Structures are given as C-alpha cells and as structure tokens.
Amino acid sequence: MKILIATDMEGITGVTTWEQVTPGHAEYARFRRLMTQDVNAAIRGAFDAGADEVVVADGHWNGSNILIEELDARARLNNGSPSPLSMMEGIDQSIDAVMFIGYHARNGSPGAILDHTWSSRTVANIWLNDILTGEYGLNAAVAGHFGVPVIMVSGDQTACAQVTELLGNVETAVIKQASGRFAAECLTPTVAQEMICVAAKRAVERLAEGDMPNPFVLDMPITVTIELFTSDMADRASLIPFTKREGTRVSLTAPEMSSAYTGFRAMVTLAAG
C-alpha cells in the first residue's frame, strides 16, 4: 500500500493568520515546524495501519515549508516549485490513496481559517464543470484522473465539511473550530496530532476493508472556470488560446483532468501578472 500525503499550511494546527504561513515573517518558522509535525502524525498513522510507502507533497507557497530534517525518515518528500503536478506532485497510478493535511476551505466560506482558492489575491471562485469547489476539489480530481481516492483530510471544521460534501464519508481530523477568517479555537499540537494520526490510521484501515468513497472522476471533457477578482486579471488569463471569457470569468476546456489542472495553473499564473 502506497500513500501520497498532499499538504497545505492554512489548515495546520494553530494557524489563524497569513503571517504564520508566509515566509519572511517571524511566526513562519514556528508554523513550518508544526506543519512538519502534523505531516509526521499522518505518516505514523499510515504506517501503523500497514502502509508500505508514504510520499509527501509540500503544497504551500513555493513548496518549501516542511522541515526535511525533522520529517519521519520512512517518507520521501516532493518539494520546490513549479513542479509538474504542483500540490499533487508524486501522484501516479502506483499510489493507492491520498491524504489532505493542513487543507482549507474555498474562498468566500464563512467560519473558515484563511479561506481562499489557490491564490488569495487573484481567484474569487473556481468551477470544475458546474461544481463550485476549491483547491481540495481540483486536487481530488487530479487524484481521480489517476484512479486514486482521497481518504482523509485535516483542517478546520469548514474545510473538512467541504471535502466530505464533495467526496463522501472520508476520515476527518477537525483540529480547529474557526469562528472567522482569522480566528479559531485550536487544539494543542499534542491533541491535534494524535487526532491526525488516528484519522490517518482509520482511513488506511477502511481503505483496506473497501470502505472508502470512490475516486473523484469528472465527466470529460472537463471545463475549468475561474472567476478572477479584476478584469485586467481576466484580460491576461484569456490570452491563453481557446479560453472563453465572460466578464471576470475565464474558462478552458480540456480532454482530461491532468491538462485541465495545468491549464488552470497557467491561467492563474498569467492572471496574477
């Protein structure tokens, strides 16, 4: 059994502000250590349940947050950016399941720490076909492209609820209760990481028992639509050939999810200017 742990930082234990997840701020050093510990808890749970291999993707910012010297030595780490599959680097047909650690809700969600969708300055909303979703949906669809299910998520209550609403009854570790975008009641690392470990272990056990939702596979071709914050962003995103433009919405249709994902990333990169 081979597991990919796809990580982000906003849903990590204790995180409530942008400063804590932004390189260069004094607080960042503390929270990258906590991120490493949350990931280690998931690795421990996966191996406790019988996983043979664990690969980690560092998915936040420039993909260089996890402290490799403190990472569980049984895992391998995909870091740096841009990589071919970004937050899902390491996914392929050899992976049996994906875990989302430190995930956050889509932009515009009430009661959700640092809610945003891919780029907090650029993207207001995204749709996959007609499904309004966030990073969790994009990344789950990339896993689905390879026939791989998502089996667990950690983050605040809203992130976990959005993932289960989209994917079904996956294991969740709600390690903070958000009361706003920058406020939450947080569990301490000891408690939160035990919860992550237990959820990861149960997720792998349930997968082995055949008790997990199917991979998230979209109808093809796949249309990915981005609503940008300003029209100049849409001006730039629509420079990509064969995109369609409606106001601040730009969409692109691709034959399958892997190229829809790279097309999406290209649109956001251009839009940001």
Residue of the chain from 3, 46, 47, 60 that contacts Zn ion (CB under 5 A): 60
* 8 in contact with Zn ion (CB under 5 A): yes
CB-wise, 8 or 156, nearer to Zn ion?
A: 8
Q: Could you tell me which stretch among 6-14, 22-30, 72-80, 193-201 binds Zn ion (CB under 5 A)?
A: 6-14
Q: Which stretch binds Zn ion (CB under 5 A): 3-11, 218-226, 229-237, 243-251?
A: 3-11
User: What is the 3 state secondary structure string of the chain?
Assistant: CEEEEEECCCCCCCCCCCHHHCCCCCCHHHHHHHHHHHHHHHHHHHHHCCCCEEEEEECCCCCCCCCHHHCCCCEEEECCCCCCCHHHCCCCCCCCEEEEEEECCCCCCCCCCCCCCCCCCCEEEEEECCEEECHHHHHHHHHHHCCCCEEEEEEEHHHHHHHHHHHCCCEEEEEEEECCCCCEEECCHHHHHHHHHHHHHHHHHHHHCCCCCCCCCCCCCEEEEEEECCHHHHHHHCCCCCCEEECCEEEEEECCHHHHHHHHHHHHHHHHC
Using CB under 5 A, which of the segments 5-13, 158-166, 169-177, 229-237 binds Zn ion?
Answer: 5-13
Enzyme catalytic residues: 116
Minimum CB separation of residue 87 from Zn ion in Å reads 8
14, HSE (Cβ side, Cα atoms, 13 Å): 19
Which residue's CB is nearer to Zn ion, number 49 or number 91?
Answer: 91
Closest separation between CB of residue 164 and Zn ion, Å?
A: 20
**Closest-CB residue for Zn ion?**
60
Q: Among residues 9 and 126, whose Cβ is nearest to Zn ion?
A: 9
- If the CB atoms of residues 20 and 172 are measured against Zn ion, the closer one turns out to be 20
Between 62 and 169, name the residue whose CB sits nearer to Zn ion: 62
CB of 20 to Zn ion, least distance (A): 11
**Residue 228 β-bridge partners:** 123
**By the rule CB under 5 A, 236 interacts with Zn ion:** no
Q: 94: which 2 tokens? A: 């050899």
Bridge partner list, 133: 126
Sole window of 4-12, 68-76, 124-132, 198-206 interacting with Zn ion (rule: CB under 5 A): 4-12
Tell me the closest approach of the beta carbon of residue 102 to Zn ion, in angstroms.
8
Q: Which is nearer to Zn ion, 9 or 39 (CB)?
A: 9
Closest residue by Cα to residue 200 from 57, 15, 40: 40
CB of 9 to Zn ion, least distance (A): 5
- Per-residue tokens: 100: 């989302």
Q: Tell me: does residue 32 bind Zn ion (CB under 5 A).
A: no
CB of 104 to Zn ion, least distance (A): 7
Q: Residues interacting with Zn ion, by CB under 5 A?
A: 8-9, 60
